Amino acid sequence: MDEFDWIARYLKPIAPSPEAMGLSNDVGKLLSHSGSVRIATMDTLAAGTHFLKTDPLDLVGRKLVRVNVSDIISKGGLPEQVLLSIALPDGFSEQEFETLCHGIGGELQQRGISLIGGDTIRFSGPLTLTMMMTGRCELKGPTHRNGAKPGDVLIVTGVVGAGYLGLQVARTGNTGVYLDHYRCPEITEEQWAGVISDFATSSLDISDGLLADASHLADASRLAFSIDLDQVPWAAEPSDLEEMLALATGGDDYQALFTVSADRFEKFETLASERGLFFQQVGSVSEGSGVKIHRSGVAIPLPSVKGYTH
Amino acid sequence: MDEFDWIARYLKPIAPSPEAMGLSNDVGKLLSHSGSVRIATMDTLAAGTHFLKTDPLDLVGRKLVRVNVSDIISKGGLPEQVLLSIALPDGFSEQEFETLCHGIGGELQQRGISLIGGDTIRFSGPLTLTMMMTGRCELKGPTHRNGAKPGDVLIVTGVVGAGYLGLQVARTGNTGVYLDHYRCPEITEEQWAGVISDFATSSLDISDGLLADASHLADASRLAFSIDLDQVPWAAEPSDLEEMLALATGGDDYQALFTVSADRFEKFETLASERGLFFQQVGSVSEGSGVKIHRSGVAIPLPSVKGYTH
């Protein structure tokens, strides 16, 4: 291939911002705003690990953007710019490259995010995509993991388990709505960024699994997080406890999980309702350590594996 | 492995800046300065493509940092922060991970650059490292590729061909100074950033090869670049023209190549001398297009391949 031709033909058109300088100036310019703090995240997706080699490449491209957006929004930020590294396996065709770029570019455009630079290589591994994304936060900066306080309520912004269900469907070769979510997740709505920034005392996005990510907040805050499994908005009604725990530990949910102070909860609830934002209270924070789960007040032993390590 | 343990043990210690937030807050904070423009670059190095699987991993880590620094300095910027993605092959050991991080961390520390975030994955490919680096420029922004003017002189900041010679040595299994350069290149000195920002009308770093990268400047500026091969500071005296052309097209030099207006050249020369910075004038710019090479005024036909596409 002539890599330069591919960059000019497929990447340059999806990088129209002035800061990208046509992707032909070796570097891109980062935006800067007085009165705000800028944050950055980076995620790598590899074929065979984070997506299936048979997944449609435009959806892989969209997923790459969304998993990064999910990180930014869940910390109270609004996504702005990206740099992109594409490591292509031998034999990757121009048409495949076009489809991949179409997915990345479409998702970036819909969300008003600008591609400003990156790198494209050929190598002997599977298709591997790395995206670095910047976001803009209020002056106080991103919400931390360690800010939860005893008495806080634990909130999730969408259904839990869709990624897990989708992976099961994908492995059988069937299709359906869960497969779509696995391939290209529904993530936390962008409107949540401002609400999280305003109200969340601790936050992250659920990528490893509900229980694993709740553990991360609990450990960072040095408190106990108690989750009522019957309050969790499952992607599909689990048939038994075993399935429920699978949904709670499968990961790839890309919904925000955060804590809100009990005395601000009413105000939070009103604002979320006014903006038409779905959320569910799934637990609470108290003195102690680690994650505890229960149903109707009865403690349930934690599964040995709380999540999926990517 | 427990990936979290490795991150805590080996990556967190090399990310001490406040903006990294201990690498445990999902995102890092980007620095911002009034009165300057911030730029970003991203490079991916894969085992078997950009380094040999037998190369010492601490040098691989240092090379990863240096190739990004080279991009920033060559555009007139000073490096500041990085995000890092590490894709580990199956069987990569904890000791190997430690060695790699030691190289990355040592190089970052020596250069005062802060690691603020990233991603670590396991996958089925070869060790693949992606680094995104930010840099600070004067308010006018990074030097562009397209600013050369007729009459400008063409400057290189160091020797050409060391990367090529090193790769030849590496392939034979021998050792020596050129091997060191291939594994961990000597790059443009950081002091050049301010001089390039002040004087260069167009610039980039030589990664594809002297002739290929001179072509990039010539094409972007829509002018002809003429290079006197006898003026080029070769890493080793070539035995014949064929070898000279190999050095001019081998790539991996990581020295800055830039143009300076003829009427400012004397001032440029004085400043570079005062600061003890080595440079060599290797050619000039005129109306026309493309790169032309000559020796003692006699035109030499361009080789069919002007550089190495990474």
Query: Mean pLDDT over residues B192-206, rounded?
Result: 97
pLDDT at position A2 over 80: no
On whether B2 is known to bind a ligand per the annotation, the reply is: no
Half-sphere exposure of B158 (CA within 13 A, CB side): 21
- pLDDT attached to residue B175: 78
The predicted model gives B262-279 an average pLDDT of 96
List CB contacts of A226: < 8 A, sequence separation 6 or more.
A283, A284, A285, A286, A291, A292, A293, A294
Which band of pLDDT confidence, cut at 50, 70 and 90, is reported for residue B310?
Answer: low
pLDDT mean over B91-105? 96
Element (DSSP H or E) covering residue B242: helix B241-249
Q: What is the pLDDT of residues A53-71, one digit of tens each?
A: 999 999 999 999 999 999 9
Q: Which tokens belong to B154? A: 């063409």
What ipTM does the predicted assembly reach? 0.94
What is the domain partition of chain A in residue ranges? 3-137, 153-300
Q: What percent of chain B has pLDDT over 90?
A: 84
Query: A293 CA to chain B: closest CA distance, Å?
Result: 23
What's the whole-number mean pLDDT along residues A65-90?
Answer: 96
Closest by Cβ to B117, choosing from A21, A42, A123? A42
Measured CA distances, B218 to A18, B77, B223 (Å): 22, 22, 5
Fold designation for A3-137: 60s Ribosomal Protein L30; Chain: A; (3.30.1330)
Under 8 Å between Cβ of A143 and A259:
no
- Of residues B76, B36, B69, the one with CA closest to residue B198: B76
Asked whether the beta carbons of A163 and A52 are under 8 A apart, the reply is: no
| Measured CA distances, A22 to A222, B145, B209 (Å) | 47, 11, 22
Question: What pLDDT score does A35 carry?
Answer: 85
Q: Is A122 on the interface with B (CB under 8 A)?
A: yes
**Do A3-137 and A153-300 have matching folds?**
no
**Among all residues of chain B, which has the CA nearest to that of A207?**
B26
Amino acid at A272: A
B50 labeled binding residue: yes
Pick the more confident residue, B6 or B73.
Answer: B73
Q: Cβ contact (<8 Å) for A144 and B21?
A: yes
Judged by a CB distance cut-off of 8 A, whether residue A305 touches chain B is no
Contact with chain A for residue B295, Cβ under 8 A: no
> Residue A309: pLDDT above 70?
no
Q: Which two tokens stand for residue A247?
A: 């949904």
Q: Residue B33: what pLDDT?
A: 81
Q: What is the mean pLDDT of residues B161-184?
A: 86
CATH number at B153-300: 3.90.650.10
